[in-house]
Amino acid sequence: MSSTKKVRVRFAPSPTGGLHLGGVRTVLYNYLFAKQHQGNFIVRIEDTDQTRYVPGAEEYIFNCLQWTGLEPDESVVHGGKYGPYRQSERKEIYRPYAEALVDKGYAYYAFDTPEELERMRKDFRTTDNPSPQYDHTVRMKMRNSLSMPREEVARLLSENARHVIRIKMPENETLSFTDIIRGEVSFNTSVVDDKVLIKADGMPTYHMAVVVDDHLMEISHVFRGEEWLSSTPVHLLLWKYLFGLDAMPEWAHLPLILGPNGKLSKRDGAKYGFPVFAMNWKDPKTNELTEGFKEKGFLPEAFINLLAVLGWNDGSEQELFTRAELIEKFSLERVQSGGAKFDYEKAKWFNHEWIKKLTAEELKEPVRDIYEQKGIVVSDEKRLVEVIELIRDR
Ligand code: GLU
């Protein structure tokens, strides 16, 4: 990336449920980096997987951002010149890019039915390869525009036959990129399957949409969770084929947040009695409630502070940071690559410190919120301040 490019970073959640603290940390690191470089922080809603869509989840994400004060400069809610910021509203944009890839021989149409795919997984199963994928080893035995006669493909397309577009992963090529946190990362393309780019319903998959949108929205840096590292070979190829590797944003994959048993999960929260989401989230299908830091009584200042240091330090012993200090001191180079352990006792310590740090006046609103949640109406302002002074240390 050329150093003259304006800093534009994005958080790209899929509206599928509550916002995990790992998600908020991703928001925070994006936000701090944007503010530090007088750049823009964008929130893009990645809702192209209609089967995973959960009503209310998008609104909930914006409520969490508002509570933490990590407000985007551009989004569905905040507007901006690069919209729409919801991928389902951009559906028509992606297909021409995928078709251009087909024309250049980098992708192909595949007409296999779900039953045929199932059969492939059974028929090609061996002891060495217990779960065969749609890749260079099987693609010529399937029904696609590489294996079928040209006229047959043209006929199927003209009849609007159900199909997807897949990327043709090259065989045995090494792809690499430099991750800001991890340094050089390499992959062999042979282990990656021919990922679907455009689905049968016409929607792009995550891989297709993320690359096209990062390009169109002029994203300069992509900071996202480590779980997306395995997707980077596909993204690298799409960048190379569509826009050129020089145009590609810089990438950093943030370390996992670890709970008592590996990756911190919603279940850990329920099991050990600590919140895992930013705010309370009630699943509209199951009515299951997952607790949030806000409702547990955490101050946004404390929440942000404890997230900032989950995987980052400034090289000193300092643990308490104001937002302004974080904007000044944060650097991705000092983010660790190994998992960061979440410790709820420590999280409570941060909150306690922040309760002591803020004035009673500053604590009024969060305390009033908690009273309201419990159905208590606060009418006497002076009294509220007196109560805060009395109980804050405890
Ligand atoms: N939509 C992906 C998610 O839900 C975004 C991953 C990325 O930032 O590229 O986290």
**Distance between CA atoms of 259 and 271, rounded to whole angstroms?**
11
Q: List pLDDT tens digits, range 255-270.
A: 999 998 889 988 888 8
Token pair for 49: 């997987």
Residue 391 has pLDDT above 90, yes or no: no
| Mutation test residue for ligand 1: of 210, 256, 257, the one with most atoms within 8 Å of CB | 210
Sequential DSSP letters for 313-356: --SSS-----HHHHHHH--GGGB-SS-EE--HHHHHHHHHHHHH
Average pLDDT, the chain: 94
Q: Is 301 in the pocket of ligand 1 (CB under 6 A)?
A: no
pTM of the model: 0.94
3 state SS of 189: helix
Q: Which atom of ligand 1 is nearest to the CA of 223?
A: 8
What pLDDT, on a 0 to 100 scale, did the predictor assign at position 370? 81
Q: List pLDDT tens digits, range 65-98.
A: 999 999 999 999 999 999 999 999 999 999 999 9
- Cβ count near 263 (within 10 Å): 13
Alpha helices (H) in the chain, listed in sequence order: 21-36, 57-68, 91-103, 114-123, 150-158, 206-216, 232-242, 266-272, 300-308, 323-329, 344-357, 360-373, 381-391
What pLDDT, on a 0 to 100 scale, did the predictor assign at position 3? 54
| Mutation test residue for ligand 1: of 26, 206, 207, 208, the one with most atoms within 8 Å of CB | 206
289-290/281-282 β-pairing: antiparallel
Closest CA to 232 of 249, 247, 220: 249
Q: Is 235 in the pocket of ligand 1 (CB under 6 A)?
A: no
CA 206–ligand 1 middle distance (angstroms): 8
Whether 234 and 208 have beta carbons less than 8 Å apart is answered as no
User: Which residue puts its alpha carbon closest to atom 5 of ligand 1?
Assistant: 12
Q: List pLDDT tens digits, range 315-370.
A: 999 999 999 999 999 999 999 999 999 999 999 999 999 999 888 888 888 888 88
What average pLDDT does range 15-27 have in this prediction? Answer: 95
**Distance between CA atoms of 267 and 220, rounded to whole angstroms?**
35
Q: Is 15 in the pocket of ligand 1 (CB under 6 A)?
A: no
What pLDDT, on a 0 to 100 scale, did the predictor assign at position 1? 45
Q: Which atom of ligand 1 is nearest to the CA of 224?
A: 8
Sorted by sequence, the CB contacts under 8 Å of residue 115 that are 6+ apart come out as none
266 is an active site residue: yes
Sorted by sequence, the CB contacts under 8 Å of residue 367 that are 6+ apart come out as 384, 387, 388
What pLDDT, on a 0 to 100 scale, did the predictor assign at position 261? 86
**Catalytic entry in 35, 168, 195, 266:** 266
